[in-house]
Structure 1
Amino acid sequence: MATLKDIADKVGVASSTVSRVLNQDDTLSITAEKRQLINKVAIELGYLSPIQRKKQRQQQSAIAARTHYKLANGDALNLMVVHCLSPNEELNDPYYTAIRIGIENSCHQHNIALRNTFANNLAANSSFLQQAQAVICVGHFKDQDVTLIQSLNPNLIFVDSNPLDKQCDVVQFDREAASREIVGNMISADVQRPAFIGNDETRLHVFREMTQAHGIYDSARCKVSTNFCIESGYLAMTEMLSTQPWPDVVFAATDIIAIGVYRAIQERDIEIPKDIQVISMNDIPTAQHMNPSLTTMRLYATEMGEAAVDLFMELVAGRQYHKTVQLGYEMIWRKSFAKPL
Structure 2
Amino acid sequence: MATIKDIALLAGVASSTVSRVLNDDPTISVTKDKRDKIRETAKELGYSTPTMRKKVARHEDDSFVARTHFKLVNRAELNIVVVHFLTPTEELNDPYFTAVRIGIEKRCHQFNIALRNTFVANLASSGGFIKQAQAVICVGHFSQQDVQQIYTLNSNLIFVDSEPMQHSCDSVLFDREDAAIEIVSNIIDSGAVRPAFIGNDEARLYVFRSLTQSAGVYNDELCKVSDAFCIESGYQAMTELLNRKEIPDVVFAATDIIAIGVYRAIQERDIDIPKTIQVVGMNDIPAAQHLNPTLTTMKLFPTEMGESAVDLAIERAAGRNYKKKVLLGYKMMWRDSFCLEQSPL
TM range (shorter): 0.7 to 0.9
Separation of aligned partners in 1, 2:89 and 2:267: 27
For residues 223 and 306 of structure 2, what CA distance do their matches in structure 1 show?
Answer: 31
C-alpha distance in 2, partners of 1:85/1:204? 22
Shift of 1:91: 0.4
Q: Which structure has the bigger radius of gyration?
A: 1
TM-score (norm 2): 0.77
Shift of 1:338: 1.0
* 1:13-33 deviation line (CA, Å, top 9, x unaligned): xxxxxxxxxxxxxxxxxxxxx
2:104·2:310 contact (CA, 8 Å) conserved in 1? yes
The residue aligned with 1:9 is none
Which whole-Å CA distance do the structure 2 matches of 1:71 and 1:279 have between them?
A: 43
Structure 2: gaps spanning 5 or more residues: 1-70
2:285 corresponds to which letter in structure 1?
Answer: I
Q: What residue in structure 2 maps to residue 142 of structure 1?
A: 143
Q: Which residue identity lines up with residue 318 of structure 1 in the other structure? A: G
**Aligned partner of 2:236: which letter?**
L
TM-superposition CA deviations, 1:192-251 (whole Å, max 9, x none) = 000000000000010011101111111110000110000000000000101121100000
Structure 2 partner of 1:247 = 248
Q: Deviations over 1:126-185 (max 9, x none)?
A: 001100001000011001000000000010000000000000111001100000000000
Q: Is 1:325 paired with 2:326? A: yes
The verdict on how the C-alpha distance between 1:206 and 1:299 changes in structure 2, with shifts beyond 3 A counting, is same
Q: Secondary structure at the match of 2:172?
A: strand
Paired position in structure 2 for 1:299: 300
1:204 aligns with 2:200: no
- 1:228–1:254 CA contact under 8 A, matched in 2: yes
Q: Which residue of 1 aligns with 2:155?
A: 154
Specify the code of the residue in structure 2 equivalent to 1:292: P
Q: Does the Cα contact within 8 Å between 1:293 and 1:336 map onto a contact in 2?
A: yes
Q: Is 1:123 matched up with 2:114?
A: no
Kindly provide the amino acid, as one letter, of the partner of residue 107 in structure 1: C
The number of residue pairs the alignment matches comes to 272
Q: Distance in 2 between the 1:73 and 1:89 partners?
A: 35
**Helix, strand or coil: the match of 1:166?**
helix
Given that 1:333 and 1:339 are in contact with CA atoms closer than 8 Å, whether structure 2 keeps it comes out as: no
The 1-side partners of 2:282 and 2:104 are apart by 21
* Partner secondary structure for residue 168 of structure 2: coil
**Partner SS state of residue 190, structure 1:** coil
Would the alpha carbon gap of residues 75 and 182 (structure 1) be closer, same or farther in structure 2, given more than 3 Å must change? closer
Consecutive aligned runs of 4 or more in structure 1 exceeding 4 Å deviation: 70-75
Q: Which residue of 2 aligns with 1:257?
A: 258
Structure 1 vs Structure 2: percent identity of aligned residues? 66
The structure, 1 or 2, with the larger RCO (C-alpha pairs under 8 Å, 6+ apart) is 2
SS for the counterpart of 2:192 is: coil
Equivalent AA in structure 2 for residue 239 of structure 1: E
Aligned to 1:188: 189
Distance change (3 Å), C-alpha of 1:73 and 1:202: closer
The 2-side partners of 1:86 and 1:97 are apart by 11
Q: CA deviation at 1:260?
A: 0.2
Q: Is the 8 A contact 1:188 1:340 kept in 2?
A: no
Q: Could you tell me how far 1:120 is from its partner in structure 2?
A: 0.8
Per-residue deviation, residues 105-131 of structure 1 (Å, max 9, x unmatched): 000001011000111111110001100
Structure 2 residue matching 1:195: 3-state secondary structure: strand
Paired residue type of 2:120: A
Write the distance in 2 (CA, Å) between the matches of 1:292 and 1:316: 47
In 2, are the aligned partners of 1:252 and 1:278 still within 8 Å (CA)?
A: yes
Is residue 130–residue 153 contact of structure 2 (8 Å, CA) maintained in 1? yes
Q: Check the 8 A contact 1:194/1:248 in 2, yes or no.
A: yes
Cα 1:249/1:127, change in 2 over 3 Å: same
- Identify the residue that residue 178 of structure 1 maps to in structure 2: 179
In 2, the alpha carbon distance for the partners of 1:126 and 1:260 equals 38
Tell me, in whole angstroms, the C-alpha distance in 1 between the residues paired with 2:75 and 2:191. Answer: 63
1:106 aligns with 2:107: yes
Aligned equivalents of 2:278, 2:96: Cα separation in 1: 23
Structure 1: runs of 5+ lacking an equivalent: 1-69
Other-structure match for 2:286: 285
Q: Deviations over 1:264-289 (max 9, x none)?
A: 00000000000000001000000000
Local SS of the residue matching 1:125: helix
Deviation at 1:339, TM superposition (A): 3.1
